[in-house]
């Protein structure tokens, strides 16, 4: 048996080293070297290549693009509408999906529901559980009311055994729950290590491409919010979905952050109920908290990170801080918060230097689009002054370092949704101001952040 040779590869520059080093010898980045099997010797335990890709040794013909027939990929809807929406229509033959999220957020629940629906639609499915025993999964299926399910279950964590089962069973879809518990005995590194996760995912991806079996990998998110084995897995797979939401609230978002077969940033919205996850087909108002009277430090925005607008309340609390005041954000980018505070000070004369500033996007939703800037700034100012924004108020727009307010994509749609939900006053970037008035909505179009502050003062 050929001796396994491991090298260490830098995740930043791709440089290699024969030993693990804290600092990459090529680019000088710290903690970027990860173990990698350089030579996959024909080990005794290694499975032979699945049928179908042995033929890859023969080079494919080179053809001009025009001569190649473009085929739309065939998708099988999972039967769960909100999941199909993020997948771009359904499960794709040979497609590999990575689904990440905090523990307890509902990954296993959603996938068990989806597998049961696919199985009932006539696709043979295999659910490989490495985190829970078969009995635990059965218990969950009772809870979901699918106890008669024909989904095949395998409680196994060793990759070679999983691949052998898949080979023998030839399912249409395989779920690996989770990729972090899966290990290959060909590698010396510990299960759950980056090298193991990466090699196992690479094997499963090759198997999917070679056989046309769709593979769904469940991945855990580290404390910093990245999938363990950062970036490496995201590059390998076709689709990356992330679960968002607060485990204390009922609502969960599934967001596509990469999709070779569909739109990115599409979101699916679910509610966790006693009987599993239920799709929320009209979600625009679920992230608004109900205040009987308007309160200081709260501003509603419309976010549009998919095809549907969502109204989200941004809350801020500004309170006198110590010598080094804190800036904390939940659901919003912390660096961006620091930048917005600087812009507020410099261009609108609102100083928070000696204040603690906390901001939060209500409901555990994460907002990455800069269109949240204006709402963040207005909620901070509102909290600082102890003055609530009027009832039915909303704002959106990106704010630049020079204090300019830049337009958000598809402003009309955002405004229409807000009007539909009964909002009556909006502060928006000038370029987003609609040509025709929207019934029930007074729109203040602004070009600069100080202008926005003036408008709000006069309301
Ligand atoms: P789970 O799918 O096990 O999360 P993950 O695989 O992402 O770690 O979800 C577990 C949580 O969901 C747990 O706290 C219980 C809750 N839950 C419900 O509220 N209703 C249900 O029908 C089910 C199955 C779980
Ligand atoms: Mg789980």
Ligand 1: residue whose CA is nearest its atom 23:
276
How many whole angstroms from 111 Cα to the centroid of ligand 1? 11
Each residue's pLDDT tens digit, 327-374: 999 999 999 999 999 999 999 999 999 999 999 998 888 898 999 999
Nearest atom of ligand 1 to the alpha carbon of 143:
22
Our answer on whether the CB atom of 317 is closer than 6 Å to any ligand 1 atom is no
Nearest atom of ligand 1 to the alpha carbon of 110:
2
How many whole angstroms from 97 Cα to the centroid of ligand 1? 20
Our answer on whether the CB atom of 143 is closer than 6 Å to any ligand 1 atom is yes
Local confidence band at 227 (pLDDT 50, 70, 90 cut-offs)? low
Q: Is 455 helix (H, G, I), strand (E, B) or coil?
A: helix
- Residue spans per domain, the chain: 4-39, 75-281, 286-458
CB 141 within 8 A of CB 168: no
Q: What is the mean pLDDT of the chain?
A: 88
Our answer on whether the CB atom of 439 is closer than 6 Å to any ligand 1 atom is no
Say what the pLDDT of residue 56 is: 53
Each residue's pLDDT tens digit, 109-162: 999 999 999 999 999 999 999 999 999 999 999 999 998 899 999 999 999 999
* pLDDT average, residue stretch 216-220: 92
Our answer on whether the CB atom of 231 is closer than 6 Å to any ligand 1 atom is no
Q: Best mutation site among 106, 138, 220 for ligand 1, i.e. most ligand atoms within 8 A of its Cβ?
A: 106
User: Given 3-state DSSP classes, what are the helix, strand and coil percentages for the chain, each rounded to the nearest 5?
Assistant: 30, 25, 45
pTM of the model: 0.78
* Fold: same for 75-281 and 286-458: no
Model confidence at 108: pLDDT above 50: yes
Local confidence band at 307 (pLDDT 50, 70, 90 cut-offs)? confident
Report percent pLDDT > 90 for the chain: 63
* pLDDT average, residue stretch 226-232: 60
Alpha carbons 456 and 433: distance in angstroms, whole number: 17
Model confidence at 172: pLDDT above 70: yes
Say what the pLDDT of residue 5 is: 63
Ligand 1: residue whose CA is nearest its atom 9:
106
Say what the pLDDT of residue 73 is: 81
Residue that is written with structure tokens 């229509």 in the block: 89
Say what the pLDDT of residue 16 is: 78
Q: For the range 138-146, what are the long-range contacts, defined as Cβ-Cβ under 8 Å and sequence gap of 24 or more?
A: 140/108, 140/109, 140/112, 141/112, 141/116, 143/274, 143/275, 143/276, 144/109, 144/112, 144/113, 144/116, 144/275, 144/276, 145/275, 145/276, 146/112, 146/113, 146/116
Fold of 286-458: Ribosomal Protein S5; domain 2 (3.30.230)
Nearest atom of ligand 1 to the alpha carbon of 247:
14
Say what the pLDDT of residue 51 is: 54
* pLDDT average, residue stretch 385-392: 95
Our answer on whether the CB atom of 130 is closer than 6 Å to any ligand 1 atom is no
Report percent pLDDT > 70 for the chain: 91
Strand 355-361 and strand 327-330: the pairing is: parallel
* pLDDT average, residue stretch 370-389: 96
Local confidence band at 191 (pLDDT 50, 70, 90 cut-offs)? confident
Our answer on whether the CB atom of 88 is closer than 6 Å to any ligand 1 atom is no
Nearest atom of ligand 1 to the alpha carbon of 276:
22
Our answer on whether the CB atom of 109 is closer than 6 Å to any ligand 1 atom is yes
Residue that is written with structure tokens 């950062």 in the block: 230
Say what the pLDDT of residue 40 is: 46
Closest by alpha carbon to 186, among 50, 49, 45, 47? Answer: 45
Ligand 1: residue whose CA is nearest its atom 15:
104
Residue that is written with structure tokens 């625009």 in the block: 284
Superfamily of 75-281 according to CATH? P-loop containing nucleotide triphosphate hydrolases (3.40.50.300)
């Amino acid at each position: 048996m050929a001796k396994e040779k491991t090298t260490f590869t830098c995740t930043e520059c791709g440089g290699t080293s024969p030993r693990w080093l804290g600092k990459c010898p090529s680019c000088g980045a710290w903690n970027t070297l990860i173990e990698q099997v350089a030579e996959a010797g024909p080990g005794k335990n290694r499975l032979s290549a699945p049928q179908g890709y042995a033929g890859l040794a023969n080079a494919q013909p080179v053809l001009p693009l025009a001569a190649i027939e473009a085929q739309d990929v065939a998708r099988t809807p999972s039967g769960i509408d909100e999941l199909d929406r993020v997948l771009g229509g359904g499960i794709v033959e040979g497609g590999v999906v990575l689904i990440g999220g905090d523990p307890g957020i509902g990954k296993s629940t959603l996938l068990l529901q989806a597998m049961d629906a696919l199985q009932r639609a006539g696709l043979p499915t295999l659910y490989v559980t490495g985190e829970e025993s078969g009995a635990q999964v059965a218990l969950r299926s009772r809870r979901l009311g699918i106890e008669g399910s024909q989904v095949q279950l395998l409680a196994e964590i060793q990759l070679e055994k999983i691949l052998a089962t898949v080979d023998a069973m030839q399912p249409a879809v395989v779920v690996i729950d989770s990729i972090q518990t899966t290990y290959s005995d060909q590698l010396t590194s510990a299960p759950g290590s980056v090298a193991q996760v990466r090699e196992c995912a690479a094997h499963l991806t090759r198997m999917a491409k070679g056989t046309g079996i769709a593979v769904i990998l469940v991945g855990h998110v580290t404390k910093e919010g990245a999938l363990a084995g950062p970036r490496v897995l995201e590059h390998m797979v076709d689709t990356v979905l992330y679960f968002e939401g607060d485990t204390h609230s009922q609502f969960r978002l599934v967001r596509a952050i990469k999709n070779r077969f569909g739109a990115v940033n599409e979101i699916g919205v679910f509610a966790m109920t006693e009987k599993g996850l239920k799709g929320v087909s009209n979600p625009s108002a679920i992230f608004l908290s109900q205040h009987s009277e308007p309160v200081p430090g709260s501003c509603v925005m419309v976010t549009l990170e998919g095809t549907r607008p969502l109204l989200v309340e941004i809350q801020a609390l500004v309170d006198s801080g110590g010598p080094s005041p804190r800036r904390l954000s939940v659901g919003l980018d912390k660096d961006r918060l620091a930048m917005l505070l600087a812009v507020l000070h410099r261009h609108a004369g609102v100083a928070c230097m000696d204040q603690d500033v906390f901001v939060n996007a209500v409901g555990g939703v994460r907002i990455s689009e800069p269109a949240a800037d204006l709402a963040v700034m207005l909620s901070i100012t509102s909290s600082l002054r102890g003055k609530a924004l009027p009832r039915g108020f909303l704002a959106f727009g990106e704010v630049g370092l020079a204090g300019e307010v830049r337009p958000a994509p598809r402003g009309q749609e955002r405004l229409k949704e807000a009007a539909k939900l009964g909002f009556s006053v909006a502060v928006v970037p000038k370029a987003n101001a609609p040509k025709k008035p929207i019934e029930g909505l007074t729109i203040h179009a602004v070009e600069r952040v100080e202008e926005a502050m003036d408008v709000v003062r006069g309301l």
